[in-house]
């Protein structure tokens, strides 16, 4: 019999109380672009397996099953889907002022494409809509925020592991959600374009506005210098507080350099995740690894 999320939460809290231990940190996985038709369970399992490989390479312990959840927003990116955001925090207008006509046109174009042959085109149109449509960005952020708020109810520290577009979504959540500011949160961005001034401007932010979001106690930014979609951020974050980490191996070309599996399995990612876990109160071996850095 499958337990409800509410029941599972109560059991987790009860177990922690009985054992006299604080709740363990929760690693929230935030995927990148694409994945429109992927299986969420399989994607979570694959990411956890890869991160366990990275942690092992870094000399840290693998994650437990109950320490990992996936924040799923791929369906929000489907241009054929009509999206509304219930909260509307921080996204009251379109970044480029293009308005309803452009959104409707791109959505109609996606709907007209043969579904069996259109995955790549739908993904590209979804990327365009993410930049144009504040409601779509808000709805994607809402998915991530919901997973984080559940962790807060469970009194669990949070480590966000966000890849590529997922780093933009996660940053938006952390920058807009005041309820998260009193909670222990660490951020690990992988292959992130956040350091690119043009990307931030495209999404309606000032190029000089990048900062450590309120409530984020620790930020590790893992990138490959050969990855054209990823940028270092330490020198552009106002007030400092972010750490850049280069992958331990270099991609052979631009496509390979940005591949998610490389990021998830690399020793540098394992070390960054171990430090992040330590920063929010994880135990033993992770902190030993962090102390060596």
pLDDT tens column, 117-129:
566 666 777 777 7
HSE of 198, CA atoms in CB hemisphere, 13 A: 3
Alpha carbon distances (Å) from 22 to 155, 157, 254: 8, 10, 43
HSE of 10, CA atoms in CB hemisphere, 13 A: 4
Q: How many Å apart are CA 8 and CA 118, to the nearest integer? A: 39
Using alpha carbons only, how large is the chain's radius of gyration in Å? 19
**How far, in whole angstroms, is CA 234 from its chain's centroid?**
18
Alpha carbon distances (Å) from 115 to 34, 105, 112, 119, 233: 14, 17, 8, 7, 38
Q: Which residues of the chain have pLDDT under 50?
A: 1-3, 15-18, 90, 92-97, 288, 291-292
HSE of 12, CA atoms in CB hemisphere, 13 A: 21
Strands 185-190 and 216-223, bridge-based pairing? parallel
Task: Give me the pLDDT at residue 8, please.
Answer: 52
Task: Give me the pLDDT at residue 274, please.
Answer: 96
Task: Give me the pLDDT at residue 60, please.
Answer: 95
Q: Of 132, 77, 139, which Cα lies nearest the Cα of 99?
A: 132
pLDDT tens-digit series, residues 91-150: 544 444 455 555 565 555 555 555 555 666 667 777 777 887 888 889 999 999 999 999
Residue 94 CB neighbours (<10 A)? 19
Task: Give me the pLDDT at residue 128, please.
Answer: 75
* Domain 5-74+141-292, CATH among 3.40.50.1820, 3.30.1490.100, 3.30.465.10, 3.40.50.300: 3.40.50.1820
Task: Give me the pLDDT at residue 106, please.
Answer: 55
Domain range list for the chain: 5-74+141-292
Phi, psi of 211 (to 5 degrees): -150, 165
Mean pLDDT of all residues belonging to the chain: 81
Q: Could you say which DSSP state residue 81 is in?
A: S
Task: Give me the pLDDT at residue 112, please.
Answer: 57
Alpha carbon distances (Å) from 12 to 6, 151, 161, 280: 10, 11, 22, 18
């Amino acid at each position: 019999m499958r337990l409800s999320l509410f029941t599972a939460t109560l059991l987790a809290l009860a177990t922690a109380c009985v054992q006299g231990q604080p709740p363990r940190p929760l690693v929230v996985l935030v995927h990148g672009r694409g994945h429109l038709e992927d299986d969420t369970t399989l994607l979570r399992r694959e990411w956890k397996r890869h991160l366990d490989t990275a942690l092992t390479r870094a000399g840290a312990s693998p994650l437990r099953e109950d320490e990992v959840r996936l924040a799923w927003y791929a369906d929000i990116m489907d241009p054929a889907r009509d999206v509304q955001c219930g909260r509307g925090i921080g996204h009251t207008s379109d970044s480029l002022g293009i308005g309803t006509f452009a959104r409707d046109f791109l959505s109609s174009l996606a709907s007209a494409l043969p579904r069996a042959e259109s995955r790549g085109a739908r993904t590209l149109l979804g990327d365009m809509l993410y930049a144009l449509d504040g409601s779509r960005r808000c709805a994607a952020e809402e998915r991530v925020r919901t997973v984080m708020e559940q962790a807060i109810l469970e009194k669990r520290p949070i480590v966000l592991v966000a890849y590529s577009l997922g780093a933009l979504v996660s940053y938006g959540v952390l920058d807009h959600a005041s309820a998260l500011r009193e909670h222990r949160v660490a951020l690990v961005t992988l292959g992130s374009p956040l350091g690119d001034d043009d990307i931030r401007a495209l999404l309606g932010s000032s190029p000089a506005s990048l900062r450590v979001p309120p409530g984020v106690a620790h930020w590790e930014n893992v990138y490959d210098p050969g990855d054209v979609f990823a940028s270092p951020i330490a020198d552009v974050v106002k007030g400092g507080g972010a750490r850049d980490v280069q992958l331990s191996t270099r991609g052979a070309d631009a496509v390979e350099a940005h591949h998610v599996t490389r990021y998830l399995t690399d020793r540098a990612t394992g070390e960054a995740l171990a430090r992040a876990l330590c920063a929010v109160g994880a135990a033993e071996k992770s902190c030993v690894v962090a102390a060596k850095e």
